[in-house]
Structures are given as C-alpha cells and as structure tokens.
Amino acid sequence: MISPPKKLMDKHILILGLVWPEPDATGASQRIMEHIRLFQAYNWRITFACSATPNHATTKLQDLGCNTQQLTLNCGSFDVFIQALQPDIVLFDRFMVEEQFGWRVSNVCPNALRVLETIDLHCLREARYQAFKRGLPFTLDMLNHDTALREIAAIYRSDLSIIISSFEYDVLQSHFNIPKDLLHLCPFMLKQTKTTNLPTFNARQHFISIGNFRHAPNWDAVLWLKQEVWGLIRAQLPQAELHIYGAYTPAKATALHNPREGFYIKGKAESVQDVMQSARICLAPLRFGAGIKTKLADAMMFGTPNVTTNIGAEGMSGGLGWSGLVADDAQNFADAAVKLYRDKNKWLQAQSNGFAIINQYFHRENNQQTLYQAILNTRNQLQTYRQNNFTGLMLNHHHHRSTEFMSRWIEAKNLNHSN
C-alpha cells in the first residue's frame, strides 16, 4: 500500500468522463477506476463530472468518496462549475472530452495540469477496422486520417498523455514524432493475484470468450468463432462447449445460441471470476482493435490460459512469456486451442506466465508510483513543459478559438430555442 507524503495530501483532481463508469461492462471504465484508486491512495480529493446519462449499472462513485457533477455540453455552466472547483489537475477521459472541455479548462483554470487518458489510440483502432473491412493488411501509413489529426492534436494540447500500450507508446514517438516528455506509458494497475487454491487443470472444462457486445472487435470475434473457428475445434473436441459472455447482448448475438453445436450465448456474467475460473481456456480471437485487453488480464488473474491473436497479445506482456498461444488464422487458432486444452504441461506453463505478467508488468503499486511521479514532475515544472511544447501552444491557440466560437454559437442557438 502506498503511503502518501503528508505535504502532498489533499490535492484536488477533476476527472471529466466520456461516460459514467461501468467497470463490470467495459475495460475503459475499469481503467478510469484504476485512476480513482490511484488518487485515493494519495488522499487526493476526486470530483468526477460527465455529460452522459448514468444508468442502473453505473458505479455509485459517491459511495467511494468521490464528488460527482452532471454536466451540460456547450454550456457556460461548466465555466462556473470549474471556477468554483479550482482543481489542481484535470484528467480528460479520451480525446473527445479534451476537445469539448479543454479550452474551457485552459481559460478558467490555466494553472491546472491537463492530463489525457487515451484509453487506447482511437486512430489505430479505426485504421485497423477500415483495413479489415477492405481485406487489406494494416500498415502504419493508414494511421494518417481524420481521427488521427484530432487525437494527436489533443495529445499535443495536453500537458501529459497516459498511454496504456507499449506498442502505441512506440508508434506515437516513431510515426507521429511526439516528444517522449509528453507521454507516460502506464499498463494496467492491478492487484497481485493469488496463485494458490485455484481450480486445477482437471477441475476445469470447456472454453470461454468474454467481451462487451457494443465493442466492434468483440462482436467480430464472436462471429469469427461461430462461422469459422468453433467448428474446427469441435471436430477435434466433440464434447467441448464454448460459453460466450458479454454485457449488452443484442438479439443478433442471442440468435447464434446453439446447444447442439456446444455454442452458448450466456449474456452478462454476474461474476467474471467465477465463469473464468470454471473454464480451461479463454478464447480472444481479435482481428482488429487497439489498447490492451481487459479480458486477457482477467484470464491471467484467474489462472485461465488463453489463445488470442497478435493484436490481442499486443502490448500485454512487457517482454515476459505469453500466457497461452497466439495465432491469426482460423485453422491455426483452432489447433492452438485444442493443443492448449489437451496438454496439461503447456497449460500450467501458460498459467504461470500469466501470473508473472499480472504480478510484475501490471503490478498495481509499482505502476501507480511511476504514474504519480510523472504527474507530479510535470506539475512541478508545468510552465517549462508548456514552453518546450511549442506545437501544443500553437494548437491550443487555434483550437481554443475555433472551438470556443462554435460552442458559444451552439449555446446561443440552444438558448434561443428554449425561449
């Protein structure tokens, strides 16, 4: 447990969320909860504000000691709110939120440190998706599209951007030439996993796949399993079953449910730990996407080896041995799944590798400490960092003026309609 220095206690951070957190449903929400735990460990006051509408699955942040605020887009009420709040740090949850509120934060609280949590690189996710739809191999030059222009601009406008994937951290520097001082690599911040008293190889059976159905790579993975992969696995393991879990299960997914084929659509898992620990293998056949994968971290944490693609494994291991097998075409993927399912020794080694990744690369306290220190260093030298980031100064100048004019026009238009 981190012991915060007394002189640094009681700072105030404002987290501007794209949505209200649903950590049981999305990996992005779990990431935001990691930040909340980090700042609570240092006794910082936390205010979480969001313009989206909360629902029944939203975490009750007030019960965790956070203040909350419902925001209205394109409205001067935000200026009044943040003027009264005077946060030391503002953390933007994805670049779209920085676009919406960054200029207001800069105008009203110019001395507040502006931090961007990218979650994953949206320009990479979009470029891979477009390449996949067109049947083309992905290349880095495909990144230069409109989303990249917006996302990279938001990174430059921010004082510090948090990057979750080592691959994306390298791409931002090598392809987009972003200075290293503007970036901080921070993988998952997870508690150490217990490696004893888990269900054994023989006590586990069947396969599991899990993921929010609203996330396009997850839905594609389910379709690929159904249409190409699962039949190849069942041909070798005729008694095997695949249990697919995910929040927001649509009718088109439920329609794939077929017990005769051992293909079960289960809906949202009440306990990820329970369903993951009952399975022998986790399947994550992701053919496009970005960031690092919560489902695979969950599998490692609960001692369940996996079979995934190179995109699934990307940025997930920190150079440590992988927690399963990797394959990118249907036949090799199915063969890998069968091999790992049958071979106890390979399964145990994969499980051990997963524990090492959780307990070393995703070590909560270590990653919290380095992220906190990066934030503190940037805040302590804020004016120097900003003066050295001329591109950011330029983009802030032009973006703030254009965005402010558009926002104030929308605000005036809404006011006229209400009258």
So what's the pLDDT on residue 152?
A: 97
So what's the pLDDT on residue 156?
A: 97
- Beta-carbon-side half-sphere exposure of residue 167 (alpha carbons within 13 Å): 17
CA distance 234 to 232: 6
CA distance 138 to 287: 11
So what's the pLDDT on residue 304?
A: 98
CA distance 294 to 374: 24
So what's the pLDDT on residue 7?
A: 47
Residues whose CB falls within 8 Å of the CB of residue 257, separated by 6 or more in sequence, listed in order: 263, 264, 265
Task: Give pLDDT tens digits for 76-118.
Answer: 999 999 999 999 999 999 999 999 999 999 999 999 999 999 9
Other beta carbons within 10 angstroms of residue 384's beta carbon come to: 11
CA distance 268 to 248: 7
Q: b/e string for 172-186 if b means 16 or more Cβ within 10 A?
A: beeebebeebbbbbb
C-alpha distances out from residue 50 to 33, 73, 242, 359, 370, Å: 14, 9, 37, 33, 27
Which pTM does this prediction carry? 0.92
So what's the pLDDT on residue 405?
A: 60
Residues whose CB falls within 8 Å of the CB of residue 194, separated by 6 or more in sequence, listed in order: none
Domains and CATH numbers, the chain: 11-189+364-418 (3.40.50.2000), 207-361 (3.40.50.2000)
Listed as ranges, residues in the chain with pLDDT below 70 are: 1-10, 399-419
Q: Do 374 and 180 meet the contact criterion of CB atoms below 8 Å apart?
A: no
So what's the pLDDT on residue 419?
A: 58
Instruction: With both helix axes pointing from N to C terminus, report the angle between 77-85 and 95-108 in degrees, rounded to the nearest 10.
Output: 70
